[in-house]
Chains A and B, each alone.
Chain A
């Protein structure tokens, strides 16, 4: 177990995974990844991250469905979720936020935006239930 706070990145694009993993790790985060929609909710349960970064368009399951499962599980409902999407339409954003996402970012984003978003989402350990 590490003292570093843990980000679980659920994303299927290997080079995006690599860049975000490097970026966050350099910023002091422990980063784990899950590369598909299938098994994503189980991965969250098992790894107990502090923050989830969740891509909307995964090959086998929509990020919205995964978000819905997370938010309907009382043990995971308060877990901060940052949604990533290549669709920047306002209805996508509204839907993500209505379903309980804490933040919504449109691809392509800057590294500074990503870092600021993740830093802003994490709760101090003392607040964690």
Chain B
């Protein structure tokens, strides 16, 4: 079967590779068993190429057919596009000529791609550490402990160095240095262990909410409400929070069985339309969609819920849409726009600023309850469902949280970015 050329740039790749190897058009045509004029048309992408001719050209150029047909591959192109969007430059990178770049300069484009990936990885590390440094009570206490011990050791060691101390003071200060150096070592070891505990929040969940999220993440967020939870390792508050979560799963499943939702979801992906069809609140429908198998939804699903103060009640992270572990998220998230106007649900196609962001589709709606009846407080719960949207290519418009967001001149910025 003849493999037809899918990309219109294969000819350009052949031309660039031939020039790179110093082979004339006539010579390559001879090796491939075609006329030079035909090769000329191929190289200018005026003739399709495939099969035997493609194989022979690839062999003569010391490469493989995939490389000629597909170019650098989607990963490299994505990395280059990320690099192009990462920093504002004047002139701006020619994003519409990325394919030409990978064709004409495969080595440089591989380097830019690798650097872009590396920068993204480092940014993630810095962001995570910055986030921890700013808000993590364990880290804050450890750093305070280390600096206190270092202060005591430094002052005491300088006193000892000055000499001329009475035996009683000498003994006391030696003992203090010994105590503080042990304490320093112990705290430093604890800190190192804490910082290298591995990826994810499950190792160092500090709040009941985090414990529940880590527990669910370990099960890929697929739980049955009637499941007897193995809550080993959870704190008492964590177990209570998990029980409350599972009670809601049970209530949701009773009102909206998964089979029924799956059938309806196949007909309409719009949560509001589903809510109308199924006679259920939009929030319940969105939570239930987030619990469906990934294959049924078409990709990883994220979910964020907040209350009337904007405090996050629940997070199910999704790749490409960062959710800060500590600190308040970006107030431009549709979640908060709906909090401002709860009567107006929203659908948005968006992407975050940041090297690793991906286009997503968000669906948001608010539920306002009055559990104490007339005169009682209104209790708000805003739900944002995050679905993958690979076909859209929106410009970045929101961040994760101010400290991690590079957007300049943002009217909603609360604090400076650490990056």
**Footprint of B on A, CB under 8 Å?**
13, 15-16, 18-20, 22-23, 57, 86, 107-111, 114
Contact = CB atoms under 8 A, between A and B. Distances in A.
A82 to B, nearest CB: 14
A19 B180 CA distance: 12
Given A15-B176, A18-B172, A18-B176, A108 B156 contact: no
B207 interface: no
A111 B152 CA distance: 10
B169 interface: yes
User: Could you say which interface size class chain B belongs to?
Assistant: 10 to 19
B88 to A, nearest CB: 27
Main secondary structure, interface of B, reads: helix
A15 B175 CA distance: 10
B46 interface: no
Contact of B143 (A13, A15, A18, A86): A86
B148 interface: yes
Contacts of A13: 148, 151-152
A107 B158 CA distance: 15
16 contacts: A13-B152, A15-B180, A18-B156, A18-B173, A19-B159, A19-B173, A22-B159, A86-B151, A107-B148, A107-B150, A107-B151, A108-B147, A108-B154, A109-B151, A111-B155, A111-B159
Interface string B151-178: 1111110110000000001001100100
Contacts of B4: none
B158 A16 contact: no
A19 B147 contact: no
A19 B144 contact: no
Contacts of B152: 13, 15-16, 19
Contacts of B180: 15
Contacts of A18: 156, 172-173, 176
B393 interface: no
Most B CB within 10 A of own CB, among A15, A18, A20, A23: A15
B179 interface: yes
A23 B159 contact: yes
Contacts of B144: 57, 86
Contacts of A23: 155, 159
Contacts of B147: 86, 107-108
Given A22-B169, A86-B148, A16 B155 contact: yes
B143 A110 contact: no
A61 to B, nearest CB: 16
A12 B291 CA distance: 50
A108 B158 CA distance: 12
Contact of B156 (A15, A57, A86, A114): A15
A16 B161 CA distance: 17
Interface string B169-209: 10011001001100000000000000000000000000000
A4 B280 CA distance: 79
A16 B410 CA distance: 44
Nearest to B150: A108
